[in-house]
Amino acid sequence: MRKLLALTLTMALVAAISAYLVWTQERPVGHYLSDLRINLAVDEGTPADRGNLLGIQPELFPADYQSLERLHLKLAAYLQKAREQGLLNDKTIVVLPEHIGTWLMVRGEKNELYQATSLKEAMNWLSASNPLLFLRALISAQGNNRMDDAHLRMKAPAMARDYQILFGGLAKEFDITLVAGSITLPNPSVNQGQLQVGHGPLYNTSLVFGHDGIPLGQPQRQLYPIFDERGFIEPGDENAIRVIDTPAGRLGILIGSDSWYPDNYRKLNEQGAQLVAVPAFVVGRDTWDKPWRGFKSVSTPPEISLKPEELSEGEAWHRLTLISQQPISQARAGMSVFLRGQFFDQGSSGQSFVSSTGQLFPDGDARGARMLNIWL
C-alpha cells in the first residue's frame, strides 16, 4: 500500500512538473489594438539646413511590449507622422524617453503578465514563467534590492539584442540620428558595433544610433539614479559624460535628474556640446503637480537655492534643467522628453519641454502621444 501511494504521489509530482514546464514554454500572443495617433505639441524655429531636435513622447502600455513587431508598429507610426509633417531630414535628431528600453524585460511573455493589475503581480508572473533565468539572475544579483535586480538582469542579453534591433532599425529605416531613451543593463558596452552586456552592477544607460543603425560611441550611464532605484541601479562614473558628433552638431545626453546638476553642464561645455538631450521619466499620475521632494540621490548642489516643496515637481524640472541658460550651459538648444502611459499600477506624469536661448517651451497638455520640435 505504501509503495502504491508513493508511486502515485511520484507520478502526480512528475505530471505537475511536466505540465509546469510545458506552461512556461507557451507564449500566446493576444489581440491588441494600439492607439497610433500622435499630435505635434511644440514647433519652434524656422526650417533651415541645420537640422532639428524632435522629441517623441510616446504613450505606452505593457501590451505594447508583447512583441518587437508590435512596439515597432507603434513607434514607426509616430515617426511616419513626423515624416509626413516634414519634420524628418538627414540632420534630424530624434529623442525618446527614459526607460523605454528597460520595459523590454516583459517582451514575449504570457498574457497573464500583461493583464496584471500591479507591478508586483507582473514580476511574479515574469519569475514564474522563466524559472531558470530568474534563479540564475537571483544568484548573481547585486545591491540592496536583489529581487528587482534579478528581474532586470534575468533577460539582459535578449533585452540588449532587442534594443539594438528595434531602435537601430528605426534609425536606419527613417534615416535619422536616434537617442534611444534608456535601458537598464548589467555593465553594458559597445563592441564592434554591437551592444553587449557584461557582469557586475546594473546601469541605466542611453545609446545613440546613427543613420546606418549602428551605435555612436559608448553608452552614457546615468550618474545619479533616483533614490527609489539606488537599491539596484549603480551610479555611473561622474567623469564619464560623453559628447557625440552628429550631423546637427555635438550632442550631450543627461538621463533623468542628471539634468538638474550644474556641474554636468560644465562638463558638457568643456567638450563643446551644442545640443543636450534629456530622456526622462516621472512615476505617478499626479506627481508632476505635487510638491517637489528635493534632490533624490545626493546632496543639493551649492548653486541650487530651491528647497523641497517650494515648487511643484514640474516647476522644479523647468527651473533645474539648465539647457541654454548661460553661462552654466553653452548649448544652443535642448529637450527633455518623458515617458507616458500606464505600466500596471505605475502611472506617469512628466510633460516634455524644449529649451533654447534661455527660453522654455513646454507642452501644456500631456494627454496622449506628443511630438515636440525645434529647428536649429
Residues 51-107 have pLDDT tens digits of 999 999 999 999 999 999 999 999 999 999 999 999 999 999 999 999 999 999 999
- The answer to whether 159 and 196 have CB atoms below 8 angstroms apart is no
Q: Is residue 8 part of a domain?
A: no
Q: Is residue 262 part of a domain?
A: yes
Torsion sign, CA atoms 154, 155, 159, 161: positive
Q: Is residue 23 part of a domain?
A: no
Task: Tell me phi and psi for residue 209, to 5 degrees.
Answer: -110, 135
CATH code of residue 323 = 3.60.110.10
- Grid cell 531630414 in the structure block, residue: 89
- Grid cell 557584461 in the structure block, residue: 198
Mean pLDDT of 323-335: 79
Mean pLDDT of 316-337: 83
- Check pLDDT > 80 for residue 13: no
Amino acid type, 42: V
Cell reading at 24: 512556461
Average pLDDT, rounded, for the chain: 88
Q: Is residue 128 part of a domain?
A: yes
- What's the CA angle centered on 78, arms 77 and 80, to 5 degrees? 65
Mean pLDDT of 4-29: 49
Q: Percent of the chain beyond pLDDT 90?
A: 67
Predicted pLDDT of residue 12: 46
Relative orientation angle of helices 131-139 and 146-153, to the nearest 10 degrees: 130
How sure is the predictor about 27, in pLDDT bands with cuts at 50, 70 and 90?
low
What are the angstrom distances between the C-alpha of 159 and each of 82, 84, 155, 163, 232? 27, 31, 6, 6, 17
Q: Is residue 1 part of a domain?
A: no
The stretches of the chain forming alpha helices (DSSP H) are 2-25, 68-84, 111-114, 119-129, 131-139, 146-153, 156-163, 169-174, 262-270, 313-320
Predicted pLDDT of residue 360: 87
Predicted pLDDT of residue 329: 86
Distance in angstroms between the alpha carbons of the first and the last residue of the chain: 84
Predicted pLDDT of residue 15: 43
When computed from its CA atoms, the radius of gyration of the chain, rounded to whole angstroms, is 22
Predicted pLDDT of residue 34: 76
- Neighbouring-strand partners of residue 42: 372
Query: What's the number of domains the chain is made of?
Result: 1
What are the angstrom distances between the C-alpha of 330 and each of 24, 252, 360, 363, 371? 53, 12, 15, 23, 25
- Grid cell 534575468 in the structure block, residue: 154
What are the angstrom distances between the C-alpha of 165 and each of 22, 68, 161, 227, 352? 29, 9, 6, 31, 26
Task: State the greatest distance between any 2 C-alpha atoms of the chain, in Å, as a whole number.
Answer: 88
Nearest residue to 252 (alpha-carbon basis) of 300, 321, 307: 321
Q: Is residue 324 part of a domain?
A: yes
How sure is the predictor about 327, in pLDDT bands with cuts at 50, 70 and 90?
low
DSSP 180-212: ---EEEES-EEETTEEE--SS-EEEEE-EE-TT
CA distance 217 to 248: 16
Predicted pLDDT of residue 126: 94
- 359: exposed, middle or buried (C-beta count within 10 Å: 0-12, 13-18, 19+)? exposed
CA distance 285 to 363: 16
Q: Is residue 48 part of a domain?
A: yes
How sure is the predictor about 30, in pLDDT bands with cuts at 50, 70 and 90?
low
Q: Is residue 282 part of a domain?
A: yes
User: How would you label 275-306 residue by residue, b for 16+ Cβ within 10 Å and e otherwise?
Assistant: bbbbbbbbbeeebbeeebeebbbeeeeeebeb
**For the whole model, what pTM was predicted?**
0.90
- Grid cell 512596439 in the structure block, residue: 71
- Supply the range of the domain harboring residue 168: 30-375
| SS3 (DSSP) at 249 | strand
